[in-house]
Amino acid sequence: EAGVTQFPSHSVIEKGQTVTLRCDPISGHDNLYWYRRVMGKEIKFLLHFVKESKQDESGMPNNRFLAERTGGTYSTLKVQPAELEDSGVYFCASSPRWTGAYEQYFGPGTRLTVT
Amino acid sequence: QKEVEQNSGPLSVPEGAIASLNCTYSDRGSQSFFWYRQYSGKSPELIMFIYSNGDKEDGRFTAQLNKASQYVSLLIRDSQPSDSATYLCAVPLPGNTPLVFGKGTRLSVIA
């Protein structure tokens, strides 16, 4: 069974540019989460999808971040325009509908560098 | 606001020794606790969870929970160099499943 995959693995962009990160969850997992780790800080929750619906987006830092999960399969996280403080590693995780925190599988992350 | 605190380390132990990793949490209402292992450049991997006071053993790993002290720990017996990684403690947000993580403790097992 394929795990959670993320694309790209690395992205280097200039301040003011746009970047779109993609996450493909494990097939059949209704829950999809985005997290971010900024250098020197802990991994922080950004938002949670259940299928195509946003269940909780309380962790999204501001309106420069837009997440979508059309059709309830893969998800994208767009940052527009990117700022220096957006640099970090963006993780995606997925879990089956009813197991939630007890069975979250993480992807390898996308390392975003904004220069 | 839930907080999870961990000593960032590095914690160095000789091969074969017991590694003890500690975590404290701020929300007295927290019910379940998770330990993740993250190798450098890799994804966090769930190794154990615990929700009852006391000890829970799984192979060389033992999780210990003391809700009165708001303290959870992970013991790794017979530590191996392959255990060298960052260990993350995590607690679910109330009423939901997203996790609140500590900064992690970097463990180095010296051969």
Query: For position B95, what pLDDT does the model report?
Result: 63
How many CA within 13 A on the CB side of residue B21?
A: 35
The partner residues of B99 in beta bridges, in order of sequence, read: B92
Check CB contact of B46 with chain A, cutoff 8 Å: yes
Residue A47 — pLDDT band, cuts 50, 70, 90? very high
Residues from A contacting B (CB-CB < 8 Å) are: 4, 31, 33, 35, 41-45, 48, 55-56, 59, 91, 95, 100-109
Residue A35 — pLDDT band, cuts 50, 70, 90? very high
Report CB contact under 8 Å: A45, B42. Answer: no
Mean pLDDT for B85-103 is 87
Query: For position A63, what pLDDT does the model report?
Result: 94
- If we measure between CA atoms, which residue out of B66, B80, B3, B67 comes closest to residue B37? B80
pLDDT digits (tens, 9 = 90+) for B2-30: 789 998 889 999 999 999 999 999 988 88
B106 CB neighbours in chain A (<8 A) are: none
- Of the candidates A33, A43, A48, the beta carbon closest to that of B88 is on A43
> The tokens of A64 are what?
């420069």
Mean pLDDT of chain A: 94
Mean pLDDT of chain B: 93
B9 CB neighbours in chain A (<8 A) are: none
pLDDT digits (tens, 9 = 90+) for B29-45: 888 899 999 999 899 99
Are A64 and A79 in contact by the 8 Å Cβ rule? The answer is: yes
Residue A83 — pLDDT band, cuts 50, 70, 90? very high
Q: Cα–Cα distances in Å, from B37 out to A61, A63, A82, B105?
A: 26, 32, 30, 10
Residue A1 — pLDDT band, cuts 50, 70, 90? low
Determine how many CB atoms are found less than 10 A away from the CB of residue A47. 21
Mean pLDDT for B56-72 is 95
Res. A43: pLDDT tops 80: yes
Share of chain A above pLDDT 70, in %: 99
Mean pLDDT for A36-53 is 94
Q: Cα–Cα distances in Å, from B12 out to A11, B41, B76, B108?
A: 33, 20, 13, 5
Mean pLDDT for A57-85 is 95
